[in-house]
Structure 1
Amino acid sequence: MFGFFRAFDVIPQLNDDGPRLLVAYQGVPGAYSEFAALKAYPNCEPVPCPDFETCFLAVESGLVDRAVLPIENSLGGSIHRNYDLLFRHRLHIVGEKKFLFRHCLLANPNVKVEDLKSVHSHPQALAQCEKSLTNLGLVRVAVDDTAGAAKDDSYSVTRFIMLARKRIIPGTDKPFKTSIVFSLEEGPGELRKALALFDDVKINLTKIERRPLQKQASQTLADNIVGFPKGFGYIFYADFEASMAENRTKDAIGRLEKLATSLRLFGSYPADDSFK
């Protein structure tokens, strides 16, 4: 066993009418992430942060209660920076929210589209609007948050995760999602064996992604987590539709522990099925 089934301090889920929380987000007031924070925790006080890692550090240090951060987008794909930070830091996913956003081009009054030379926005927004920006012939300049981006595909869903210092208690009274990260021995068929464990118990995997194990993260975590490789290697992030309170999940994870060289639970939390 790698240890994440041992007793942890836990917190109850908070209702919308609960205490006013300090919730970190990346960007400035008016950014999509502030909107997501207020939707996730309507009574919260949003706290802007200059970058994603500052959000993680603010929660870890106790300066804020939660962080609400984007993790993937239906057009731009995974936000790898936040996946890497999830691995590097010791926070827990306690919820998710999905939002439909439509980007628009913002310019000074009376400026014509044909006079534009460049567009400044967050790299994810630039990626989501790639087709429109190419058609307009605009130079893309990456900045820290979405001050504005070109009109594009009207169906652009961004998934946000809510992070806390302590995990919540998973239940079975509603749909839950669970997020994990694991590593495997190198060799043919190892990943197939791992994924088959979930198929065997009829658990639907909604995401599986391989990421390189960064040297800094490897050295830091190898001292704290039994089994994490200390050299170059790969790790696999996975999300699946099941609660850690279910016997089938315990079965699959227990068998995966025996197969994997390392395994870590990010969180088991209520799923947002808004855009299924």
Structure 2
Amino acid sequence: MDLKQLRDGIDDIDSSILSLFMKRMELCKGVADFKKEHNMPVFQGGREQEVIDRIKELTGNKELEKGTAALFTTIMDISKILQNRTIHAAAPDYIYTSPDFAGARTIGCQGTSGANSESAARKVFGDRAFTFYPSFEDVFKAVQAGEVDYGVLPVQNSTAGSVDSTYDLMAKYPFYIVKMVTLEINHCLAAKKGTMLEDITCVYSHRQALSQCEVFLSRTGLKKHEYSNTATAAEKVLRSEEPIAAICSVDCAEKLGLEILARDIADCTINRTQFIIISRDLQVANDSDSVSVMLTIPHTEGSLYRLLTKFFVNNMNLLRIESRPIRDGSFDVMFFLDFSGKLSDPSVKAVLRDLEENLEDFRCIGTFKSE
């Protein structure tokens, strides 16, 4: 046979496989209707393992057993997704309200006036007073306790990546994301008036800011010291009697009366940070088009692949996937996923119910308009 004949043969077999797949899915619809009528769960582990064991026995080739097991596992996963759509099509909606950013009385940010979190907050809440807290955790606590209506926290930078401390706290506290805000970051090196660059002994700033300016710091040979926030680092410089500097925003430096020794010092010209606006209750804006969840998956072969299949089959684009250690002495991780969709979409409701019913740890943590 030549190559064309071989490919024609493969095409014929693919057509047969597709025809049989469609017939199988029709039977699965009947199974879904039966389960819905009799209030049965979609997932039945014993039946799934029975099918996989039978397929392995029928394979007749040890080298292909894993491949046939993967093929039929995927087919069954697609079947379960379609069954979930049928069973959960009329599932009750999540209970939520609409955000009231204009009427918010109290908004919490980490740091002090001049912090990037304040600039991000102003994009949503305008020119009003904010409550500043010493740490990211204090912002989460304030939201949980109802001290503030909304909290503002950084989650991702285009240069330095995820803000790990925020993700760690997201796993610890109950909250909901109600909006995402992207802020252009403009770092400068600032010191007290009259200080020369050659006199500087060390630089203070938040870990993310130091990471975003690595090239400049390496070139100048300045020693780095991590600080809780860029704005509080600038305040430390203002109070210090030593020749130290801070990496902060130009607005912050000017507000405190510091001298800007160098501008635009970030490694990348385009440097953006994404901030989340969080609340104690689930709130959904009309233009929300993305959903955020957090979950753990079992330590079994292909568990992450099978999780991602749910989103692919439901035509949901994964916008972000992050993982953080659970910090309980194990090597387990918590996954954070953002994906396209609205909470009112039947396919989204089906996926969320599926995850909620079949994962030991799962939580929907909000919805927002992607930027």
Aligned to 2:271: 156
Number of matched pairs: 251
Unaligned runs of 5+ in 1: 217-230
Aligned to 1:56: 140
Aligned to 1:180: 293
1:123 aligns with 2:207: yes
Aligned to 2:44: none
Give the drift of 1:139: 0.7
Q: Secondary structure at the match of 1:10?
A: coil
Aligned to 2:100: 14
Bigger shift: 98-107 or 36-45?
36-45
- Cα distance change on mapping 1:246 and 1:60 into 2, 3 Å: same
Give the drift of 1:112: 2.8
1:244 aligns with 2:340: no
1:199 aligns with 2:301: no
Structure-1 separation of matches of 2:215 and 2:351: 41
1:143 aligns with 2:227: yes
Structure-1 separation of matches of 2:127 and 2:146: 19
Q: CA contact under 8 A between 1:23 and 1:65: conserved in structure 2?
A: yes
Of 247, 262, 265, the residue aligned with 2:361 is 262
One-letter identity of the residue aligned with 1:207: R
Aligned to 1:220: none
Q: CA contact under 8 A between 2:104 and 2:149: conserved in structure 1?
A: no
Q: CA contact under 8 A between 1:20 and 1:45: conserved in structure 2?
A: no
Within a 5 Å distance, the mapping from 1:193-232 to structure 2 comes to 193-215=306-328
Within a 5 Å distance, the mapping from 1:12-161 to structure 2 comes to 12-15=98-101, 18-42=102-126, 44-146=128-230, 147=234, 148-149=246-247, 151-152=265-266, 153-161=268-276
Aligned to 1:221: none
Give the drift of 1:94: 0.9
- Superimposed CA distance per residue, residues 237-264 of structure 1 (whole angstroms, 9 cap, x where no aligned partner): 1111222211222233334345533211
Q: CA contact under 8 A between 1:178 and 1:267: conserved in structure 2?
A: yes
One-letter identity of the residue aligned with 2:97: I
Q: Secondary structure at the match of 1:126?
A: helix
- Superimposed CA distance per residue, residues 17-46 of structure 1 (whole angstroms, 9 cap, x where no aligned partner): x32521100001111111111212115421
Structure-2 separation of matches of 1:123 and 1:22: 27
Structure-2 separation of matches of 1:170 and 1:113: 48
- Cα distance change on mapping 1:203 and 1:9 into 2, 3 Å: closer
Structure-2 separation of matches of 1:49 and 1:97: 20
Structure-1 separation of matches of 2:364 and 2:345: 15
- Cα distance change on mapping 1:240 and 1:42 into 2, 3 Å: same
- Cα distance change on mapping 1:255 and 1:59 into 2, 3 Å: closer
Greater relative contact order structure (CA < 8 Å, 6+ sep): 1
- Cα distance change on mapping 1:177 and 1:29 into 2, 3 Å: same
One-letter identity of the residue aligned with 1:36: A
Greater fraction helix? 2
Aligned to 1:235: 334
Structure-1 separation of matches of 2:331 and 2:195: 50
- Cα distance change on mapping 1:187 and 1:82 into 2, 3 Å: same
Unaligned runs of 5+ in 2: 1-40, 42-90, 235-245, 248-261
Q: Secondary structure at the match of 1:168?
A: coil
Greater fraction strand? 1
Q: Secondary structure at the match of 1:106?
A: strand
Structure-2 separation of matches of 1:175 and 1:95: 8
Structure-1 separation of matches of 2:189 and 2:127: 30
* Larger CA Rg, structure 1 vs 2: 2
- Cα distance change on mapping 1:248 and 1:176 into 2, 3 Å: same
Q: CA contact under 8 A between 2:288 and 2:367: conserved in structure 1?
A: no
Q: CA contact under 8 A between 1:179 and 1:268: conserved in structure 2?
A: yes
Q: Structure 1 vs Structure 2: percent identity of aligned residues? A: 30
Q: CA contact under 8 A between 1:178 and 1:241: conserved in structure 2?
A: yes
TM-score (norm 2): 0.63
